[in-house]
Structure 1
Amino acid sequence: MNTSDLKIDLIKRITQLKEPRIIEELQNLLDFELSTNEYILTDSQKERIAEAQQEYRKSEVITDEQASQDIEQWLKEK
């Protein structure tokens, strides 16, 4: 399916939607993706990004597989 076909299919599917929440989410996604404005981070977001970068530099990270295992284990405990 080429881009034009995908757009037409998407338009048809959107017109069939009845749930306002889904329509609003689509609008938010499109607004974000099409925005040419620079996204402004809060100070706390900037701090958390800096912390994450430091953790990465120090190899204080886990693999996706390990994270999934940890989550599975945590869910079983609940």
Structure 2
Amino acid sequence: MSTSELKLDLIQSISTIEDTDLLNDVKKLLSLSSYEKVYVLNQRQQQSVNESIEQYKSGQCISDEDAENEFQKWLIEK
């Protein structure tokens, strides 16, 4: 399906919607995708990110699987 065909299909689908809440949700979704917002970190947040990167680079991390296992073990102990 080409971009033009997809746009026409969406227009036709949206034009049949009577639910105001759904239309508002679609409008919000479309407005979110129409611009890119850059999140700017404050100094403390940037320092935390930098520390995390350094910990990762130096091997001070565990795999997702190991983290999940530790979490499950912790839950059983509680």
Q: TM-score, normalised by structure 2?
A: 0.55
Cα RMSD after superposing both structures? 2.9
Mapped to 2, the partners of 1:37 and 1:55 lie a distance apart of 28
- Where does 1:22-33 land on structure 2 (aligned, <5 Å)? 31=32
Unaligned runs of 5+ in 2: 1-5
- Where does 1:1-78 land on structure 2 (aligned, <5 Å)? 15=22, 31=32, 34-78=34-78
SS at match of 2:53: helix
Unaligned runs of 5+ in 1: 16-22
Counterpart code for 1:43 = Q
Counterpart code for 2:44 = S
Structure 1 residue runs of 4+, over 3 Å off? Answer: none
CA displacement, residues 24-56 of structure 1 (integer Å, 9 cap, x when unaligned): xxx6xx74x654232111222111111111111
Q: Percent identity?
A: 23
Q: TM-score, normalised by structure 1?
A: 0.55
Mapped to 2, the partners of 1:70 and 1:42 lie a distance apart of 32
Counterpart code for 2:43 = D
Count of residue pairs brought into register by the alignment: 58
